[in-house]
Structure 1
Amino acid sequence: MTEKLFYQDSSIKEFTATVESCMQGKDGMFEVILDQTAFFPEGGGQYADTGVLLVGEKEVKVVDVQEKNEIVTHYVTDAIEQGSKVTGRLNYKERFSKMQQHTGEHIVSGIVNRRFGYNNVGFHLGNEEVTMDFDGMLTETDLKEIEWEANQAVADNVKIQVLYPTKEELETMTYRSKIEIEGQVRIVVIPGWDSCACCAPHVDATGQIGLIKLIGAIKYKGGMRVSMVCGFRALLDYNQKEASVVTISRKLSAKPDSVAEAVERLQKEVEAQKEKIRILQEQYLKGVLKEIKPEDTCVLLFEETLDTVAVRNFVNDVMRITDGICGAFIGTDAEGYRYILGSSKKEITNISKEMNQTLNGRGGGRPPMVQGSVKAKQSEIEAFLKAQS
């Protein structure tokens, strides 16, 4: 059994230990077992600690840590002789961040359970954010209130307690747990906020979390998946979003707290310009229509940009004038073309299929109109369709 120093003091950054065994593992790794360790193994939705083992002046990287049958195995990059004295040094910046996230998750899950009766049925602590899956729906207002209350727990700077109750004591306790637990149960208590079975290390007091920020929520398996960042991750998230807002505000010549209104104004201006362009395109296409005669057997239009609805209307209008083939192609020789083909009398579906096979295209539809895309030059398209007419 490995002595787990992370349960004695979650703030340990460095420790000494003796190598009990070292075996060759997979992928060039070595599996090292120590008599004691402060490296937390993967578990409870939280990935393992990383760091180094110092053997004299040599640094051996710890890239993963796993536990089985109370034995903690360190996956390291070099072999270490059995019986060696080593100094373990955690990547504590990463560890502390994980503790901030995990304790923050307990607070949020506790609030959701108390206020709404929902259970946390899934938890993942990733490199960038935490996701929590709840078995019930939460509104935007609910989430804002949960976030505010969670940060009140941070401000209260509550001392976190860890209990190891007996089986009899456990039967009288109220606590959250996602799975049935065999053996000794470890209960992490945040007085006034949450009580939950958990195997992971946590911060000493809620004030060390700094900030809890809910950054997203989606419907998921009949409930909600809520995304969160805490502590320094929340600060980084804020800095990134602030930088984006400042950049946008400069481009729009608006104050940072007015960018939403500025974007809305810009959207209205864009829509107005689109409407003007649509009207001009319709006028242009009406001019093209005036030149078309009933005896025309192949009417082809090539343009870099045109509104899809306007193009469809154009093809319909041409089919009322002539029984021949009408094709509208939007794009360039370099990028290829999107097309709409139509004919009131020709087998336009068969013509489209043959064109796609010949000119590297794809698409389809039902007569009298089909649509798709083709990677060919204008001259090749014109030659093919004129041959069909």
Structure 2
Amino acid sequence: MNTIRIYETDSHARRLQARVLSCEESENGWLVELDRTIFYPTGGGQPCDMGTLGGADVTETLLRGETVLHRCTAALPVGADVTGEIDWARRLDLMQQHSGEHLVSGLIHARFGYENVGFHLGADLVTIDFNGEVDEQALQELERAANEAVWADFAPHIWYPEPDELAHLPYRSKKALTGAVRLVQFRDIDLCACCGTHVARTGEIGLIKLFSTTHFRGGSRIEMACGGRALAVLNALCAQNRDISVRLSAKPVQTAAAVARLASERTEAQQRAAALEDRLFALLAQDGQTLRFEPPMPPESVRRLADAMVRANEARSAVFAGQDGAWHYAMADPSGDLRGLVKRLNAALQGRGGGKPGFVQGSLAASRTDIEAFFTAESCSMPDPA
């Protein structure tokens, strides 16, 4: 028996009375078949409804052929009449995202002729993939047009057209369809074959926010959110921006300029520090040591110190910066090939790294004593740094 799918004609039905036609135990609960249902099964990119049924929790709704099955946490007696109730907050959220996606996809299709080739309803954001590029300027224009459709607060038209009518309708569909086709139309914005649930009027979507557009597989991926979900994301972003504005002593609308200024100051400070560091390295290199152990410093600084040593001494030089168990190293040789040496070093002292014949760098986990013993055994002509 085919399940009567009330959600197809009344997406706002929250409770129902239904008869249990079958109940079979499954791996994660009991699969219950009803004569009628308001629970939407997973499909078309839209997650399923959850809720309660006959006192049991409905953790999943799925479609098997033409039968809607409800995965319940407890068995329900076959033949019994039970009350079901969907998780309305979840349903409304999914309808807001799904209906908003219709408006955005329809607008993009009308403006550019692009097809929606991917749709994913994530935990926070919705992603839509299109087979063409949408830039930032177009994204802003599309967002405005989509919200104007929300503010117009009109009802979508949902129906099963007769085959003759269907043949002449320019509806969107990701695949060839046979049999009865359910069409969803949002005025002249979108006409699409769709089996999902939708808002009764566009005003229920509340808000459509397009957050980003990026290149993806030769086209574009748009991140968006609608309704309560969009509000939650925007509230989180505003709270974060308020925190940043306090830390930077800048007005909330001026945080980007403040960050740019801070980044510029940081770059200048790094350049000054590097220049001072180079002067220090040149002085250190004058003592003639070719094997040095230094406190922790960034790998780039280790490299520059090794360069300063080899320039000053014109001999193979090595720097190890860090502490026992965690060292960054750099070695330079003005005329030799260090690749065999660094391979043996890494193997002996749990290291990783490599490079060119005259320069290698990496990291290792060993003690200073072990490192010194390695170079003594290698007879690398590196004097004791002590």
- Using structure 2 for the length normalisation, give the TM-score: 0.94
Indicate the larger mover: 133-142 or 271-280: 271-280
Q: Work out whether residues 157 and 207 of structure 1, in 8 Å CA contact, stay in contact via their aligned partners in 2.
A: yes
> Residues 174-323 of structure 1 correspond to what in structure 2 (within 5 A)?
174-292=170-288, 298-306=290-298, 308=300, 310-322=301-313
Superposition deviation, residue 201 in structure 1: 1.1
Query: Larger deviation: 320-329 or 266-275?
Result: 320-329
Task: Indicate conservation of the 8 Å contact 1:210/1:231, yes or no.
Answer: yes
User: In the alignment, what sits opposite 2:50?
Assistant: 50
> Match of 1:2?
3
List gaps (5 residues or longer) in structure 2: 381-386
Match of residue 36 from structure 2: 36
8 Å Cα contact 2:299/2:328 also seen in 1? no
Matched, 1:330 2:330: no
Q: Which moved more, 1:377-386 or 1:3-12?
A: 377-386
Q: Structure 1 residue 361 and structure 2 residue 361: aligned?
A: no
Cα distance in 1 for residues equivalent to 2:299 and 2:258: 26
Tell me what 1:22 maps to: 23
Please give the secondary structure, in 2, of the residue aligned with 1:15: strand
Shift of 1:88: 0.5
User: In the alignment, is the contact (CA less than 8 A) between 1:31 and 1:73 conserved in 2?
Assistant: yes
Identity rate, percent: 38
| Distance in structure 1 (CA, Å) of the matches to 2:193 and 2:239 | 39
**Counterparts of 1:346 and 1:106 in 2: how far apart (Å)?**
66
1:156-215: CA deviations, max 9, x gaps?
111111111010010121211111112111111111311111001100010000000111
- Name the SS for the 2:247 alignment partner: helix
8 A contact 1:323–1:346 mirrored in 2: no
Q: CA deviation at 1:367?
A: 1.6
- Whole-Å separation in 1 of the counterparts to 2:298 and 2:189: 59
Q: Deviations over 1:248-269 (max 9, x none)?
A: 1111111111101111111111
Structure 1 segments (4+ residues) deviating >6 Å: none
CA distance in 1, matches of 2:136, 2:315: 57
Q: Which deviates further from its counterpart, 316-325 or 116-125?
A: 316-325
- What amino acid is the match of 1:326? S
Counterpart pick for 2:339 among 331, 349, 356 = 349
Alpha-carbon distance between aligned partners in 2 of 1:379 and 1:248, rounded to the nearest angstrom: 46
- Alpha-carbon distance in 2 for matches of 1:86, 1:186: 29
Deviation at 1:303, TM superposition (A): 2.9
Between 1:119-128 and 1:150-159, the stretch displaced more is 119-128
Q: CA RMSD in A?
A: 1.6
The equivalent of 1:120 in structure 2 is: 116
User: Structure 1 residue 332: deviation in Å?
Assistant: 2.9
Q: Is the 8 A contact 2:331 2:361 kept in 1?
A: yes
Cα distance, 1:136 vs. partner? Answer: 0.5
Q: State the one-letter code of the partner of 2:345.
A: M
Following superposition, the deviation at residue 134 of structure 1 comes to 0.6
Distance in 1, matches of 2:156 and 2:46, equals 19
Change in Cα spacing, 1:362 to 1:241, as seen in structure 2 (3 Å) is same
TM superposition shift of 1:330: 2.9
Deviation at 1:102, TM superposition (A): 0.4
What is the count of residue pairs matched by the alignment?
378
| Greater shift in the superposed pair: 311-320 or 259-268 | 311-320
TM-score by length of 1: 0.93
> Shift of residue 343 of structure 1?
2.4
Is 1:152 aligned to residue 153 of structure 2? no
CA distance in 2, matches of 1:109, 1:347: 59
- Residue 45 of structure 2 aligns to a residue whose secondary structure is coil
Secondary structure of the equivalent of 1:365? strand
Q: Does 1:73 align with 2:69?
A: yes
Q: What residue in structure 1 maps to residue 384 of structure 2?
A: none
Note closer, same or farther for the CA distance 1:307–1:66 as it changes in structure 2 (3 Å cut). closer
Secondary structure at the counterpart of residue 161 of structure 2: coil
The answer (yes or no) to whether the contact 1:51–1:62 under 8 Å persists in 2 is yes
**Counterparts of 2:177 and 2:47, CA distance in 1:** 20
Asked if the contact 1:300/1:382 (under 8 Å) is kept, the reply is no
User: Greater CA deviation, 342-351 or 74-83?
Assistant: 342-351
Contact 1:281 1:306 in 2 (8 A): no
Structure 1 unaligned blocks of 5 or more: none
Shift in alpha-carbon separation, 1:187–1:306, aligned structure 2, 3 A:
closer
Q: Which amino acid aligns with 2:269?
A: Q
Hey, what's the Cα distance between the residues in 2 that align with 1:21 and 1:386?
80
